[in-house]
Structure 1
Amino acid sequence: MEAFLVSTSIVALAEIGDKTQLLAFILAAKFRKPLPIVLGILLATIANHAFAGAVGTWLTSLVSPETLRWVLGISFIAMAVWTLIPDKFDEDDARLARMGVFGTTLVAFFLAEMGDKTQVATVALAAQYQALFAVVVGTTLGMMIANVPAVLLGDRIAQRMPTKLVHAVAAAIFAVLGVATLLGAGEGLGL
């Protein structure tokens, strides 16, 4: 349950102001069809995060628990710093409109998530908790918590959200996870 809750909260916070949330705003404004956009985001996220979670789980079989602890601890601290850097959205991410609303959203979100901080966080969380299903469901739910309101409410909430504060909270959580991991938290999990 801890893996699910931590994964959900970290990704929901880290996603605020992220380029994929900006993509959700743009797709919602462009197409004005929330259901296919939300379904595209959901399926793209499941596919992307399942792959990332599988990579994280696989990494635990490649390195010793001590090495993994250091890699994860440093990765979480790096994620804390990365979370504080604002994302830039590339308009080319939304130029797939000839594929229809659902297809455009599916492809654009999947590609935008490649190498994104939430994908990297999913790899690290899956390695940390060794609970692939809980992490993937949690990170996917976190993405949906951040992006569904962006699709449904668009600009009405974008201007009111304290993005810097939300990013600071997410960065603090990543930093705490990193320090805790370096200090040996999770050793009962085999780390």
Structure 2
Amino acid sequence: MHAFLLSTAVIFLAELGDKSQLMAMTFATRYKTRDVLLGITVATALVHLVSVGLGRALGSGLAEYQWGISIGAGVAFLVFAAWTIRGDELTDDEAQAARRSTGMAVVAVGTAFFMAELGDKTMLATVTLATQEGWFGTWVGSTVGMVAADALAIGVGAWLGRSLPQRVVAVTAASALAIFGVVLITEGLLSR
């Protein structure tokens, strides 16, 4: 229980103001809140399961590979940005079908979050906590902490999605994803 409570608090606080919250808000402008939350939860649970495994197996030795993970995630974000802009060329009927498609939204959000969290501070914090605390409590607590912080951003994003024109939402989302990509690539190159 100690590992759960500690991990929930640490990861919740680490997530506040993180790029993942901005991503959650961005995705919530385009997809149903339920789908965004599901994608985030699945991706977070998987990344944090890997994190606690690494924390138990490697201790703090993961930091030397963070640069490569950051560059790979940055490239993926640039692809997501291009994909977001390309998606705006769908007909109105196709766009509505895509918005209703739970599977497509969950995969898009889940993949983006999985890539973004690889090498992120919350992943490294989870690895660090797992070196000192029980793996199960750390895994569940870190997942709950992150999803709770991102749920705040999802609420704001869902409201913006209902209030702004579709083209503005798409350009803003693509711009945010591209910025995340450039930041991750820059972080990776600078940390090498």
Q: Normalized against structure 1, the TM-score is what? A: 0.61
Distance 1:93 1:16, change over 3 A: farther
Provide the aligned C-alpha RMSD in A.
Answer: 2.7
Secondary structure at the aligned position of 2:24 is classed as helix
Q: Confirm whether residue 123 of structure 1 aligns to residue 109 of structure 2.
A: no
What are the residue-to-residue correspondences of 1:1-191 with 2, within 5 Å?
Answer: 1-31=1-31, 33-59=32-58, 92=78, 94-95=80-81, 96=83, 100-129=104-133, 131-154=134-157
Secondary structure at the aligned position of 1:11 is classed as helix
Amino acid paired to 2:48: H
Equivalent residues of 1:15, 1:146 under 8 A apart: yes
Amino acid paired to 1:124: T
State how far apart, in whole Å, the 1-side matches of 2:123 and 2:142 are: 9
Equivalent residues of 1:23, 1:94 under 8 A apart: no
Task: Give the C-alpha shift of residue 93 in structure 1.
Answer: 7.0
Distance 1:93 1:105, change over 3 A: farther
Tell me the matched-pair count. Answer: 130
Distance 1:13 1:43, change over 3 A: same
Amino acid paired to 1:14: A
State how far apart, in whole Å, the 2-side matches of 1:49 and 1:112 are: 12
Q: Normalized against structure 2, the TM-score is what? A: 0.61
Structure 2: unaligned runs, 5 residues or longer: 64-75, 88-102, 161-192
Equivalent residues of 2:29, 2:159 under 8 A apart: no
State how far apart, in whole Å, the 2-side matches of 1:94 and 1:35 are: 20
